[in-house]
Chain A
């Protein structure tokens, strides 16, 4: 369970530092993650992993016996120095290490687009990107799209056109939409749909998502 491996140290750390037991969603989820991490540890006991590994809250790579790697990631204009297990995806690094939880984990298999971010200006899925392969690159996530309190035109258009229902796919849809516009693939609704097909929306907000992209495209120099 790669996610379990990744969650253990971070969520324990989060639990330690979260002294105020408020009712925020993030803290609740953090505790939930700690509980599920506990379940993971339990299953390792069942598989007979040595006890030393279980009590060691050090980095997962040390326990797994693989070599960790030093990284420099430029995320939303900030340079982050990290040391990661080479198995860790960019998605898990953003969410679990840097707490940039706007980028969502949907399928974790490159099929749904919820984890779409930009690397060096191009839209990619962060779940199939190993963090080590993004070393030295410019990464933009949904958190880096707005200009201070001023929303990016694509963000505003999603709100104006009601381009979502539950909102889980929305950060990925918006990052993908910005890429779609920059690539020049917004000359027709058919073209928008084709070049947005890598972003699934289980609520079925597609018509409004297309409206939002068509509306925003001319505002950010896209082709219409």
Chain B
């Protein structure tokens, strides 16, 4: 690991004032320390933000407000999150391991870096790690990689489960910069790789995620997260689906669908959700809507299976939700 200077300020202002070009903020450290050991990330200054006040889990009349420093395990096990936003709790509990969930902050989870093996291996070209060096995955091993939102520069998958659930529920981030606060929809926060896969989100240098706001929609109460992976636990998604449905009797009044493991960012599927609205939540409706889940996909040699798998993942998630299986 490269040498760095360590600081532990206790206010946002102090944290931001100390931030320079070679700085990195550290919260749980589960991604950053790993990548620093691999020398994928080589900050010369670490600013520990754990003493800053980005805490709290609070259910208000309009929003669930989650402090960015709250641990994955605490959010997952919180009674209000479990009751009113089961998809958020389930996505968290299907992430990582119990130990890592006790360490990792939810703000850091949103910012976690891709698991692409070439990004993590400094001996190979990677446009995300070293702009302009090329993408090793396109011609290399890409079974785990994305089929949606890819470019000729990068096909790396966004690894967060939590972010898929939050994007489905139209969550926003509260960002604190030296020039004040701003709110941004999580879906807009993430950038597609295009020609600049090194730019992953709209966070400005020195800016901090301080809070996540999840709108308190009644459909969130009937929601779930389904994750399909190579082994049953402690593994990243091949495909995943976050679904939420509000019913009027047997008719779908409102719906939200997003998928993970397939996109270069958490992938929202408004067309699938739209195809459910106004219909009975039955097998036929679900099959017709979930068939649109891979629209626009660009599969490569090894990850073509994800096209069919993501459709079936969405279908299975909706059938679980409707009590059809």
Q: Give residues in A with beta carbon < 8 Å to B.
A: 2, 61, 64-67, 69, 85-87, 89, 108-110, 113, 116, 122-125, 128-130, 132-133, 135, 176, 179-180, 183, 185, 193-199
Contacts and interface: CB of A to CB of B under 8 A. Distances in A.
B5 A125 contact: no
Interface residues of B, number: 27
B102 A124 contact: yes
B46 interface: yes
13 contacts: A108-B37, A109-B37, A113-B97, A122-B73, A123-B99, A125-B99, A128-B100, A132-B8, A132-B48, A133-B29, A194-B233, A195-B98, A198-B98
B309 interface: no
Interface in B113-154: none
A169 B4 CA distance: 31
A133 B3 contact: no
Contacts, number: 88
B97 to A, nearest CB: 2
A66 B33 contact: no
B63 interface: no
Contacts of B234: 197-198
A66 B4 contact: yes
Contacts of A130: 6, 26, 29, 33, 46
A53 to B, nearest CB: 13
Main secondary structure of the interface of B (DSSP, over half): mixed
Interface of B: 1-6, 8, 26, 29-30, 33-34, 36-37, 46, 48, 50, 73, 96-100, 102-103, 233-234
Contacts of A109: 34, 37
Nearest to A86: B6
Contacts of A197: 97-98, 233-234
A87 B30 contact: no
B48 A133 contact: yes
Given A67-B6, A133-B50, A180-B98, 5 more contacts: A86-B5, A87-B3, A89-B33, A116-B99, A130-B33
Nearest to B38: A109
Given A2-B37, A65-B3, A86-B4, A125 B98 contact: no
B98 A183 contact: yes
A129 B29 contact: yes
A113 B4 contact: no
B140 to A, nearest CB: 21
A82 to B, nearest CB: 14
Nearest to B93: A194
Contact of A86 (B34, B46, B103): B46
**B36, B48, B96, B99: most-surrounded residue (chain A CB, <10 A):** B99
B103 A129 contact: yes
B99 A124 contact: yes
Contacts of B98: 123, 176, 179-180, 183, 185, 195-198
Contact of A110 (B2, B3, B48, B100): B100
**A61, A124, A193: most-surrounded residue (chain B CB, <10 A):** A124
The 7 closest A-B pairs by CB, nearest first: A198-B97, A66-B3, A197-B233, A86-B6, A197-B234, A64-B3, A122-B102
A125 B100 contact: yes
